[in-house]
Amino acid sequence: MNALTIDMAIQAIILIGVLITAYLTIRFRDLLAAALMSAAMSLLLSLEFYMLHAPDVAIAEAAVGAGVVTAIVVYGIAKTERWEVEP
């Protein structure tokens, strides 16, 4: 296997992980778990940006997406209810 094939396989695995974490973010009723899945998705996206040779975008995504946004959402969950109510 050449390096290009291995790189494409790693990117495919990362993108499958992004899809799985996005699905879990939507499906979880526990809002804290959904926020953590969103942070995991953001970290996987930053890894994908790094693999696409965009390290500046990867750093911004990791800092803002996984760091600041997750902290704000967790703070909001702490001030409200943790569990989503059924309609």
Query: Each residue of 8-36: pLDDT tens digit?
Result: 999 999 999 999 999 999 999 999 999 99
Round the average pLDDT of the chain to a whole number and report it.
Answer: 92
- Decide if pLDDT at 86 tops 80: no
- Residues in Cβ contact with 74 at an 8 Å cutoff, skipping those fewer than 6 apart: 32, 35
Three-class secondary structure of residue 17 per DSSP? helix
Contact 42, 65 (CB under 8 A): yes
What's the DSSP call for residue 71?
H
- Return the domain boundaries, the chain: 3-79
Give the predicted TM-score (pTM) of the model: 0.86
CA distance 44 to 20: 11
Q: 20 - beta bridge partners? A: none
Confidence of residue 1 (pLDDT cuts 50, 70, 90): low
| pLDDT tier, 66 (very low <50, low <70, confident <90, very high otherwise) | confident
